[in-house]
Amino acid sequence: MAEEKKSKMSLGWIIAIVVILVILWGVGTYNNLVGMSGAIDGNWAQVENNLQRRYDLIPNLVSTVKGYAAHEEGVYTEIADARAKLAGAKTVEEVQNASNELESGLGRLLAIAEAYPELKANENFMSLQDELAGTENRLATSRKDYNDSVKTYNVKIKTIPTNFIAGLLGMNAREYFEINEEAQKNVIVDFSE
Amino acid sequence: MKRKWLFGAIGVGFAFAVAELIIGGISSKVQALEVLQPTSEFYVNDQADVLSEDAEKTFISRSKALDEATGQQVVILTIPTLGEESLEEYSLETARKWGIGQKDKNNGILILLVTDDHLIRIEVGYGVEEKIPDGLAGRLQRTFLTPRLKEGDFDGGVLSLQTAIIQALNDQEITGDPDGGPTLAELEETFTENESEESDDGFLTLALWLLAFGGVIYYSFAKKNNFWKKCPKCGHRKWTVEQKYLSEIKVTEDTVTCKKCGYQKKTKTKDSSGGGSGLAGFLLGSSFGSSSSGGSGGFSGGSSGGGGSFGGGGSSGRW
């Protein structure tokens, strides 16, 4: 390594170097935040994937149940409405609300299915239940991953000294994806065979 | 020579960045049930002690063969009870922490048996969800595992399920025969390796920083020794440098000699504490610090074991 023996450094040089260091730190921090933001987007994409999966699963599930319990009209309408809402949802909040409604509807549907033993024994229905349970689990997982990454990010942009960069460059806190805990419980089916 | 500044400055720079990391905080979730460490055999973790030694040995050898041939990992964990913990959450956390499966392929499977609670879960990795979708996972459970568990045949149930899973993963006919499945040779034959390219951004960043750092040092060294100044005699720009340290008077004498014409110039400098290298040290330290905090910020929900990742696919059941 070279030996540096500068006998004297002018004040100008010192200021310049300090400024450069601050800029470098700023750039590093910004890039870090961008990376975190990207992770959040990635996790949200996964949440949407799973919502789509559930969305696609439902018609099949509904028609299977209808095959055995045609007269339970209320719940089918509820589900169809929630599904339509979800298709039109744009913001995180809209998606949240629509998805919660859908979950309530599904919970009711499965509760109804409990009363029909032939339905419960139907192989197709059992597979669909597996798929639905799996999808709900995936949704819970991706929601957790999303919220975890949002939390890391939100905390980071509020701590000193990172908050200077974040404020300066317009990086704001991201929303969490909340769910209705009760509705969620209904849908993750407890198997009692 | 005094190196205090250099080391001190590296330390300060690093401490600065690390302090930032600590202030950022590490949130740890208080878990009702702690995720265990895998056993030395990895594939079999019979905490509830329901499998016989022979069954364990068979399971291990099959999983090992599978791993060698295809990189897929099938692991079993048995525990007595979950307590307050959720089956799915515990299973996912374990699978992720243990890094079951390969990192780039996410081809891991965890079988979780909770013996006192009579719960089963098959956790399927991201990469093999196509081979074993949730419906199939449930069916495999119900066909090969559950009936045997109801009879108390843990060995048979587990080995049968393992065979079925291996067969499903490798597009074979699913027989779930507890006494055997595809052989190592068969697996190697049907399995085709897909090379995946890994791009490592962290390394690139580090290399760039080192390059910049090296550049800074070279530049200041060169400038100091008039590397690019013209030789007054012949106009050439190449020099050789010779340094002599005269300890009696604490002075360094530098002799620069023009490569072309031999013109020499001597300079004497007093020993100073190297402020320039101090700043370079700060730069180095803080860049190391911020690249490490950048790295850990990117991990959310990934597996800390560096292995395969899981997205919550699979199926649960009870017997």
pLDDT tens-digit profile of B33-78?
788 888 888 899 998 899 999 999 999 999 998 888 888 999 999 9
Residue among B167, B188, B194, B164 at smallest CA distance from B178: B164
- Distance of alpha carbon B62 from alpha carbon B162, whole angstroms: 9
Q: What is the pLDDT of residue B234?
A: 74
Closest in B88, B252, B300 to A145, CB measured = B300
Burial of A37 (0-12, 13-18, 19+ CB in 10 A): middle
Q: What is the ipTM of this complex?
A: 0.72
B184/A133: higher pLDDT: A133
Q: What is the pLDDT of residue B227?
A: 57
B248 has pLDDT over 80: no
Residue among A114, A133, A126 at smallest CA distance from A53: A133
B283/B298: higher pLDDT: B283
B266/B228: higher pLDDT: B266
Backbone angles phi, psi at B62, to 5 degrees: -70, -45
Confidence of residue B319 (pLDDT cuts 50, 70, 90): confident
Residue among B277, B215, B284 at smallest CA distance from A6: B277
Q: What is the pLDDT of residue A3?
A: 46
> Would an 8 Å CB–CB cutoff place B312 in contact with chain A?
yes
Residues of B in contact with A29 (CB under 8 A): 290
A188/B163: higher pLDDT: B163
Lowest mean pLDDT across A97-106, B101-110, B229-238: B229-238
Q: What is the pLDDT of residue A100?
A: 84
Q: What is the percent of chain B where pLDDT is above 70? A: 71
Contact (CB<8Å) B88/A135: no
Q: What is the pLDDT of residue A148?
A: 92
> Would an 8 Å CB–CB cutoff place B283 in contact with chain A?
yes
Lowest mean pLDDT across A70-74, B61-65, B91-95, B268-272: B268-272
Question: Could you read off the pLDDT of A77-126 as tens digits, one per residue?
Answer: 888 888 888 888 888 788 888 888 888 888 888 888 888 888 888 888 88
Q: What is the pLDDT of residue B95?
A: 92
Q: B134, B310, B316: best mutation site toward chain A, by most A Cβ within 10 Å?
A: B134
Confidence of residue B302 (pLDDT cuts 50, 70, 90): very low
Q: What is the pLDDT of residue A5?
A: 46
B200 has pLDDT over 70: no
Backbone angles phi, psi at B303, to 5 degrees: -90, 130
Q: Which of residues 26-85 of A touch B (CB under 8 A)?
A: 28-29, 31-32, 35-36, 39, 43, 46
Q: What is the pLDDT of residue B297?
A: 30
Residue type, position B77, single letter: L
Contact (CB<8Å) A131/B287: no
B240, β-bridge pairs? B257
Confidence of residue B25 (pLDDT cuts 50, 70, 90): very low
CA distances from B311 to A47, B124, B126, B166 (A): 11, 8, 6, 20
Contact (CB<8Å) B316/A6: no
Residues of A in contact with B110 (CB under 8 A): none
Instruction: List, for chain A, all residue ranges whose pLDDT scores fall below the cut of 70.
Output: 1-9, 179-193
